[in-house]
Amino acid sequence: EAQVTQNPRYLITVTGKKLTVTCSQNMNHEYMSWYRQDPGLGLRQIYYSMNVEVTDKGDVPEGYKVSRKEKRNFPLILESPSPNQTSLYFCASSKPGVLYNEQFFGPGTRLTVL
């Protein structure tokens, strides 16, 4: 089954404790992206990657890191999480070309930073 998977689905942590949220897709997509979703603000793009070893900042990259060493994986790293990073996070992937616009989303990771 073609899908985007994220782990963990739920995470409660404390301020300053480094964490990684994994994202993997099995559709051989070049483009991958991370979003956070907050009430009243919709989805905001954190980082995206056009291909392996190619990443770029979205609109809200502060406090996050990403890496793209393999095509299928795009982990999101929070080196020192803070309470304002409490949010619902989505990973997405798509093919290049005109299908950039058809992004397939993972199920989401709900993160709480205390």
Q: Which residues bind other proteins (CB under 8 A)?
A: 4, 31, 33, 35, 40-45, 48, 50, 56-59, 90, 92, 98, 100-108
Q: How far is the CB of 80 from other proteins (least distance, A)?
A: 25
Q: Which residues contact 74 (CB under 8 A, 6 or more apart)?
A: 23, 24, 25, 32, 33, 34, 49, 66, 67, 68, 91, 93
Tell me how far CA of residue 113 lies from CA of 3, 29, 37, 46, in angstroms.
28, 31, 15, 17
Task: Considering the complex, state which of residue 53 and residue 56 has its C-beta at the smaller distance from other proteins.
Answer: 56
Q: How far is the CB of 26 from other proteins (least distance, A)?
A: 15
Task: Considering the complex, state which of residue 9 and residue 17 has its C-beta at the smaller distance from other proteins.
Answer: 9
